[in-house]
């Protein structure tokens, strides 16, 4: 969201008639799609069998672990979106996010 405020993309999209809801939804989907590969790699590394059929998380279901990380990432994205609405300038968003989180 910081980049959109800095480059004024959000203002241009509003001038062209894009609804705010569509803009926020697109940003949310983009953020989720960017984090899905890292979650998949993390779950794979945690559940892969290494030596003597032992994994780091040996008795964990990979689907449940993926679901946990996915829901955690969604909550992080929502928190970042919430924090970004409190500030109007990009330099304030960075400092505010660092202070709060």
For the stretch 65-98, pLDDT in tens is 999 999 999 998 888 888 777 766 666 666 666 6
For the stretch 11-52, pLDDT in tens is 666 677 777 777 788 888 998 999 999 999 999 999 998 888
Q: Cα Rg for the chain, rounded, in angstroms?
A: 18
- Per DSSP, the residues of the chain read -HHHHHHTHHHHHHHTT--HHHHHHHHHHHHHHHHHHHHHHHHHHHHS--BTTB-TTTT--HHHHHHHHHHHHHHHHHHHHHHHHT-SSHHHHHHHHHHH-
Q: Where are the domains of the chain?
A: 2-100
Distance between CA 39 and CA 41 in Å, rounded? 5
pTM of the model: 0.74
């Amino acid at each position: 969201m910081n980049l959109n405020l800095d480059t004024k993309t959000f203002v241009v999209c509003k001038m062209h008639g894009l609804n705010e809801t569509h803009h926020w939804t697109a940003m949310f989907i983009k953020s989720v799609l960017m984090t899905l590969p890292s979650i998949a790699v993390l779950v794979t590394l945690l559940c892969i069998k290494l030596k003597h059929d032992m994994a780091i998380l040996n008795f964990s279901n990979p689907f449940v672990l993926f679901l946990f990380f996915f829901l955690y990432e969604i909550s992080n994205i929502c928190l970042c979106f919430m924090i970004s609405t409190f500030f109007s300038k990009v330099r304030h968003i960075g400092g505010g996010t660092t202070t709060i989180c």
